[in-house]
A and B are shown apart, each in its own frame.
Chain A
Amino acid sequence: MEIEYLLRIFISSVFVNNVILSRFLGLCSFIAISKEIKPAVAMSFAVLFVITMSSLITWGIFRFLLAPFHIEYLRTISFILVIATFVQLVEMVIRKFAPALYRFFGIYLPLITVNCAVLGVAVLNSEMFFQNGKPISGSFVYSLFQGICVGLGYLVAMVLMSSIRHRLELADVPKAFQGPAIGFIIAAILSMAFLGFSGFRI
């Protein structure tokens, strides 16, 4: 485990391979919940939490169940199972102990269940930090850290997008482009801007 490698993971998943703007995962929530800054940030923190926890759990599943029995091809289905269960569990706990928070998250929490960014990170972890079914040294910390960083990347993209769309509210957008149409155009321009990072050698 090296600090340098952790820094590489950070730069890579926040900027160079940003989960939304470079990998194009989790676009549904990116377009739907980026109209205002506050819900966008709330959604991002919910995603950050779920991605971090699910990369932790899926590492365990892959390490102790899938890899030893050589059934890596069941990766997708078992990861989805883990994520769905985990989100349900979190929802229950929040509903019991923090009803205000539950009302605040509202529809976002169940939405995360089917957010492909979460599954994407879990799959990526199992590809990057395992070699021939054997974990590389420090793979657990790397997985956890990558989960956090991808969540941060999601936060960066959401804040950028929602701030731009917030300003667009007052702009004179042509009628044909109003609503999600201009949102997609902005997403494309942002994504092209993030392509500028792809020249980085890390």
Chain B
Amino acid sequence: MSAHAPAGAGLPVRVEGLVHIYRLFDTEVVALRGVDLTIAAGETVTLFGPSGSGKSTLLAALSGLVRPSAGTVRIGDAEIGRMSERELLRLRRGRVATLLQGAGRNLLPYASPAQNVAFAQRGTGRRHRAEAADELLAGLDLDHLADEPLAALSGGELQRVAIAAAVAGGPGLLLADEPTSQLDAAGRDAVIATLQRVNERFGTTVVAVTHDREVGARLGRQVVMRAGRVGEEGRGDERFVVVGADGALHLPHSERDAWPAGTLVEVRRDGDDLRLVRRQP
């Protein structure tokens, strides 16, 4: 599927062996150590992980804001690492939308919600837009706020307007960084509902970074990152560890104390399954 999928169609994401290293003062920091992740078109995924696990860096890589040091990132058929700045700009223009942490950072503070949506649509051709600004706001139950000053909106309303602005161009992929941070329960619920509506209405693939388990539970698939890699996944109440491209397997965090680093483990085949047996010291 092309990165220029028509509006309303979600874009698949395929990340293989993604490595990103950046320089901080005199030190090189390996933020991503070979991330493998496949997201189907129209899927909703939440990214979990402790601070420094690489969630935000992965989000930045998916939006083309950082270049991979190694590995590939594909949005549809487009490989991010091979795209020029101009192509990346075009990618972000209505194909890949990013929702920054903090609603205010996604909006022009002096413009109304309707003006913000119109501003966000400015760079997008009409045929790529999801809907007209007023229709979009109405579709997300935000039409009553169209002309209100932003300062008059609650935290949840502000974040929903930010989502509307982010998806104003009809993106196939929405990357949201902590969309429910600093919100109360009602606000959080409203934001989650809006994300779901975006996904349902436009088929947009949604990837959200969050610390909120409720978001993960309601958005479906949960991916846990650790130390720059995908460590676990959750679907509903089930938890899985993910085998990496190199065959590495990360123990669930809850089991790491039982088998600390350096523990020798024997892998035994048991039919289609593998059994892990700890070697007794």
The answer to whether A and B interact is no
Contact residues of B with A, CB < 8 Å? none
Contact residues of A with B, CB < 8 Å? none
